[in-house]
Amino acid sequence: MSPTIRDVAKKANVGIATVSRVINNNTSVSAETRNAVLTAIEELDYTPNPIARQLSTGRTLTIGVIVPNLTSPSYVERLRGVQTALAESEYHMVLYSVGNPVDRDNYFKELSRNGLVDGILIISLPPNDAQAERFAQSDVPTVLIDAYHEQLCSVLTDDVKGGEMATQHLIDLGHTKIGFLSETLETPFHPSSYYRYQGYRKALTENNIPFDETYRISGASGRMHAREMARQLLAMQIPPSAIFAGNDIQAIGILDTARELQIEVPSELSVIGFDGIRDAEYTNLTTIDQHLHESGEEGVKMLLQELESLSDSPAQKRLALKLVQRNTTRPLIG
Amino acid sequence: MSPTIRDVAKKANVGIATVSRVINNNTSVSAETRNAVLTAIEELDYTPNPIARQLSTGRTLTIGVIVPNLTSPSYVERLRGVQTALAESEYHMVLYSVGNPVDRDNYFKELSRNGLVDGILIISLPPNDAQAERFAQSDVPTVLIDAYHEQLCSVLTDDVKGGEMATQHLIDLGHTKIGFLSETLETPFHPSSYYRYQGYRKALTENNIPFDETYRISGASGRMHAREMARQLLAMQIPPSAIFAGNDIQAIGILDTARELQIEVPSELSVIGFDGIRDAEYTNLTTIDQHLHESGEEGVKMLLQELESLSDSPAQKRLALKLVQRNTTRPLIG
DNA sequence: GTATGATTCGAAACCGGTTCCATAGAACAA
DNA sequence: TTGTTCTATGGAACCGGTTTCGAATCATAC
């Protein structure tokens, strides 16, 4: 077995407390003793057992990240941001990947309870009131990324406003027949698509453009399903001249279909996405950039702050949205 | 603070050993005592402190996953596989994301040393001899995914063979002017591009097709750089009629450029990738599927086995490669 | 009634650190 | 010289579990 602090103490002819002081750079050790201890450590190739240290200090130096299965690039990008910010800290990251509501609830309960982690970061998984209450009561600080609850710290996106911005952009370009294509609006997870839809409706209303139910389509997530839905939208007698997609992946699916149908983008069809994933840049997609990477970093910052000193009122940070115009939207001709 | 096992013992009027027995389903507890303990646990809302348990059992129920920064979809896909397999076990996953060789070496050293994790999974980061030696000596089982070292367990891909398969496919289609586009062949990380290049060369040789140095180009990774490199290849006086890309992302970059230059794929240019990421399917890319997801799952399986009983000779599992023909390759006309 | 064995259970040791507290000795002041 | 303060240090308690070991209890056998 690996050597323990007692082995070091014996070898250096000192007490274990002294060894501990040396390890932790406690000043009150004479240079002589310190050297003796250091050489003993060297000779035994000793490293302190982190678990024992965790038990006695009460800190695990670990933060738990609860995230939906890495099915969507946006989760991955947020996670990258988390990773980036965490790398500069002394904390490690345990990944809890949730595939269904049961997983989610289990992780929520498990982590908020006992001292497995020092802090919790939750990505795109809004807790219900009871769960939020638990987190708030628990003594492990929790930060939500891309989700909101009044009781908890959060880094969030104004999806309604983003939806409005996207739609307004299309309207500004002269479009009035504007389609909306998204994931199912009723999801057990984060209803961001629904909020974006609300923004879409709001923009229409504000510009006195009547909402046409037939221009709205939603279904399963993913590029393939988006293609299919786009086919349906574009096969209408009077198809939309522009489509706002609930996220970038779906927007890219629409572009796929447009190419397949030889509908030229943006001259014959404008498409705008939402998220600002990397593929949006590669495909020259106009989109609403919600600063995914930054959201991860900000979440970590907030959590680290919370770990320093638990604030009383939960901090809330809203990330700015940015319309990034590329080559999939342009003024309507005629 | 949360209640401890002693609180429960006091409340139930039993010794702590008995409480421990109840928690761990040890049989030798009378039904009566067991019930008393269970109700005490219930009333106090007690859960055992996992850190304390870890210290006394010596197991952390955690496995460390060392992976390059999630820059490439292939790492993410492998990680998903790991996640899938791990979800069915009792283990958690700590993610160590490495951005540079220094990170890598630190993590290698740190994790192999002390009991922070019960096992280590290393993705696409081949250790050098000294490091492999460390891992082999250490008492924490280690499995390499997409990397090989004779001293360690591994799940691996035959990149040379894959490169050969891809090239042979193009040759079978009648191509002889076959380009090779990849990442820099000298990388501090995993030299898979180099192996694939070797396979390419091998296939050419075996078919008596002279290798033309000007048909080979390599540079920085990523779709954007691939586009630029593709432009160079395709601007040649006698451009290749087919290109084998070192990975799918680069193949997609080539497709981007082809579209930009209005070179029709596959009629004017065949393109084959390597990896089998999801986007390959979406873009109808012919590729060599190396079963990324499965590699993650297999790595976990192997590691779990190793955790059960440390085998003496390191297990090696080679994943089959599969040519998936889609719509970016076709017989050369004329 | 005593010997034997099985069952149930608690005290205490242990895992490997950190930290409180008491003390020895040095340094300094009067 | 004596008293006081400060520094360096070790012993022991502690974190919260698991596990060993021995003892108490009970049933059964003789």
Summarize the confidence of residues B78-99 as an average pLDDT.
Answer: 96
Q: Please tell me the number of Cα atoms within 13 Å of A58 on its side-chain side.
A: 5
CB distance A70–B76 less than 8 Å? yes
Q: What is the pLDDT of residue B118?
A: 96
Q: What is the pLDDT of residue B189?
A: 82
Q: Please tell me the number of Cα atoms within 13 Å of A245 on its side-chain side.
A: 32
Q: What is the pLDDT of residue B310?
A: 74
Provide the b/e sequence for A172-202 (b: ≥16 CB within 10 Å): ebebbbbbbbbbeeeeeebbbbbbbbbbbbb
Summarize the confidence of residues A32-59 as an average pLDDT.
Answer: 94
pLDDT band at B89 (very low <50, low <70, confident <90, very high): very high
Pull the structure tokens for residue A318.
């809203």
pLDDT of B334 > 70? The answer is no
Tell me the average pLDDT of chain A. 95
Q: What is the pLDDT of residue A117?
A: 96
CB distance B83–A92 less than 8 Å? no
Q: Which residues contact B334 (CB under 8 A, 6 or more apart)?
A: none
Q: Is the CB of B72 under 7 A from strand D?
A: no
- DSSP code, position B295: H
Characterize the bridge pairing of strands A178-183 and A242-245.
Answer: parallel
Which residue did the predictor score with more confidence, A18 or A114? A18
B119-132 confidence digits (pLDDT tens) = 999 999 999 999 99
Instruction: Calculate the dihedral angle through the C-alpha atoms of A4, A95, A92, B123, rounding to the nearest 10 degrees.
Output: 80
Summarize the confidence of residues A14-43 as an average pLDDT.
Answer: 91
What count of other Cβ atoms lies within 10 Å of the Cβ of residue A332?
17
Q: What is the pLDDT of residue A309?
A: 82
Distance A59 CA to C17 C1' (A): 12
pLDDT of B165 > 90? The answer is yes
B229-274 confidence digits (pLDDT tens) = 999 999 999 999 999 999 999 999 999 999 999 999 999 999 999 9
A60 has a chain B CB within 8 A of its CB: yes
Q: What is the pLDDT of residue A334?
A: 63
B257 has a chain A CB within 8 A of its CB: no
Chains A, B: CB contacts within 8 A come to 84
Identify the residue whose Cα has the smallest distance to the C1' of D7. Answer: A28
Looking at strand D, which nucleotides approach a protein CB closer than 7 A? 7-21
Contacts of B91 in chain A (CB under 8 A): none
B97 has a chain A CB within 8 A of its CB: yes
A218-231 confidence digits (pLDDT tens) = 999 999 999 999 99
User: Hey, is B243 helix, strand or coil?
Assistant: strand
pLDDT of A26 > 80? The answer is no
Distance B44 CA to D25 C1' (A): 30
Distance from CA of A209 to the nearest CA of B (A): 35
Summarize the confidence of residues B322-333 as an average pLDDT.
Answer: 95
Q: What is the pLDDT of residue B271?
A: 98
User: How long, in residues, is chain B?
Assistant: 334
pLDDT band at B114 (very low <50, low <70, confident <90, very high): confident
Q: What is the pLDDT of residue A27?
A: 76
pLDDT band at B103 (very low <50, low <70, confident <90, very high): very high
End-to-end CA distance of chain B: 80
Q: Is the CB of B35 under 7 A from strand D?
A: no
A96-134 confidence digits (pLDDT tens) = 999 999 999 999 999 998 889 999 999 999 999 999 999
Tell me the average pLDDT of chain B. 95
CB distance A51–B116 less than 8 Å? yes
Pull the structure tokens for residue A202.
């709001």
Distance from CA of A66 to the nearest CA of B (A): 12
CB distance B97–A116 less than 8 Å? no
Q: CA of B36: how far to CAs of B4, B21, B23, B42, B46, in Å?
A: 16, 13, 12, 10, 14
Q: Which nucleotide is nearest to B20 (CA to C1')?
A: D18
CB distance A48–B93 less than 8 Å? no
pLDDT of A14 > 90? The answer is yes
Out of B50, B60, B95, closest to residue A95 by CB: B95
B202-227 confidence digits (pLDDT tens) = 999 999 999 999 999 999 999 999 99
Q: Is the CB of B16 under 7 A from strand C?
A: yes
pLDDT band at A177 (very low <50, low <70, confident <90, very high): very high
Q: Is the CB of A54 under 7 A from strand C?
A: no
Q: What is the pLDDT of residue A313?
A: 87
Distance from CA of B176 to the nearest CA of A (A): 30
Interatomic CA distance for residues A315 and A151, integer angstroms: 9
Closest residue of A to B71, CA-based?
A80
Nearest to A311 by CA among A136, A179, A194: A136
A324 has a chain B CB within 8 A of its CB: no
Q: What is the pLDDT of residue A237?
A: 96
Q: Is the CB of A310 under 7 A from strand C?
A: no
Q: What is the pLDDT of residue B286?
A: 98
Which residue did the predictor score with more confidence, A29 or A298? A298
Q: What is the pLDDT of residue A312?
A: 79
pLDDT band at B116 (very low <50, low <70, confident <90, very high): very high
End-to-end CA distance of chain A: 80
Q: What is the DSSP string of A95-122?
A: EEEESSHHHHHHHHHHHHHSTT-SEEEE
Q: Which of residues 162-191 of B touch strand C (CB under 7 A)?
A: none
Q: Which domains does chain B have, with CATH numbers?
A: 5-48 (1.10.260.40), 60-157+292-319 (3.40.50.2300), 159-289 (3.40.50.2300)
Q: Which residues contact B232 (CB under 8 A, 6 or more apart)?
A: B217
Interatomic CA distance for residues A166 and A174, integer angstroms: 13
Distance from CA of B187 to the nearest CA of A (A): 22
A79 has a chain B CB within 8 A of its CB: yes
Out of A70, A114, A223, closest to residue B47 by CB: A114
Distance A9 CA to D11 C1' (A): 13
Distance from CA of A241 to the nearest CA of B (A): 24
Provide the b/e sequence for A5-18 (b: ≥16 CB within 10 Å): bebbbbbbebeeeb
Q: What is the pLDDT of residue A188?
A: 77
Interatomic CA distance for residues A324 and B234, integer angstroms: 31
Contacts of B62 in chain A (CB under 8 A): 94
Summarize the confidence of residues B93-100 as an average pLDDT.
Answer: 95
Q: SS3 for B56-109, per residue?
A: HHCCCCEEEEEEECCCCHHHHHHHHHHHHHHHCCCCEEEEEEECCHHHHHHHHH
B2 has a chain A CB within 8 A of its CB: yes
Q: What is the pLDDT of residue A213?
A: 96
Q: SS3 for A86-98, per residue?
A: HHCCCCEEEEEEE
pLDDT band at A189 (very low <50, low <70, confident <90, very high): confident
Nearest to B242 by CA among B163, B159, B181, B185: B181
Characterize the bridge pairing of strands B142-145 and B153-156.
Answer: parallel
Distance A30 CA to D3 C1' (A): 26
Interatomic CA distance for residues A256 and A279, integer angstroms: 13
Q: What is the DSSP string of A266-332?
A: TTT-EEEEEE--HHHHHTT-EEEE--HHHHHHHHHHHHHHHHHS--SSPPEEE---EEE--SS--PP
Q: What are phi and psi of A256, to 5 degrees?
A: -55, -50
Interatomic CA distance for residues A166 and A164, integer angstroms: 5
